[in-house]
């Protein structure tokens, strides 16, 4: 009972504070109306216990059955993210001197977390920029992929 009385006193105190702070005008009417509705809920909250002892106000505001995961949207978003990462990685490889490579990212989207499993780089049609000094192309390609995607070296597969 003391919690109920304290909540009414608190809501009255908050109402007076809002009335003092808000300037006169159109917004004041709307804020007072919304606040009055909240105050009404606080005042009549014990009444619901009289009618139904196992009724919870949380059932009204936090209906869990209304919240559903849109798997189609998540799948489309994952495909778009994967595609964008592949395109950007191709650009980064081209900037590093490796042109005409094919990139495929294998990812896992379980538990709604995008996680890169493997990165497959096909260099069968690759052209190396002539301005690059003699290098180990496998090491350099892996370094670009690891730096950009933050994956382990064992997750990078290079096919010829």
pLDDT (0 to 100) of residue 51 = 64
Domains of the chain: residue spans and CATH: 2-66 (no CATH), 71-159 (3.30.300.30)
Contact present, 105 and 119 (Cβ < 8 Å): yes
Q: How far is Cα 101 from Cα 123, in angstroms, rounded to an integer?
A: 5
pLDDT (0 to 100) of residue 66 = 61
DSSP the chain: -HHHHHHHHHHHHHHHHHHHHSPSSHHHHHHHHHHHHHHHHHHHTTHHHHH-TT--THHHH--GGG----HHHHHHHHHHHHHHHHHHHHHHHHHTTEES-EEEEEEE-GGG--EEEEEEEE-TT-EE-TTSPS--HHHHHHHHHHHHH---GGGEEEE-
Q: How far is Cα 104 from Cα 133, in angstroms, rounded to an integer?
A: 27
Q: What's the predicted TM-score (pTM) here? A: 0.55
Along the 160 residues of the chain, how does pLDDT read in single tens digits?
677 788 888 888 888 888 888 877 778 888 888 888 888 888 887 776 666 656 565 655 666 666 666 777 888 888 898 899 999 999 998 888 888 889 999 888 776 677 888 999 998 888 887 676 677 888 888 998 899 888 888 888 888 8
């Amino acid at each position: 009972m003391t919690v109920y009385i304290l909540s009414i006193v608190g809501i009255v105190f908050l109402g007076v504070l809002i009335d003092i702070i808000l300037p006169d005008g159109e917004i004041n009417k709307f804020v007072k109306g919304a606040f009055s509705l909240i105050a009404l809920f606080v005042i009549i909250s014990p009444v619901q216990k009289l009618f139904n002892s196992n009724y919870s106000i949380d059932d009204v505001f936090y209906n869990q059955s209304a919240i559903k995961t849109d798997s189609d949207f998540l799948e489309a978003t994952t495909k778009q993210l994967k595609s964008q990462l592949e395109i950007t990685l191709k650009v980064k490889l081209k900037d590093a001197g490796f042109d005409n490579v094919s990139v495929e990212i294998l990812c896992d989207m379980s538990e709604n977390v995008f996680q890169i499993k493997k990165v497959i780089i096909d260099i069968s049609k690759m052209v190396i920029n002539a301005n690059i000094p003699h290098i180990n192309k496998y090491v350099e390609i892996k370094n670009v992929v690891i730096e950009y995607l933050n994956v382990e070296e064992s997750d990078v597969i290079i096919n010829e």
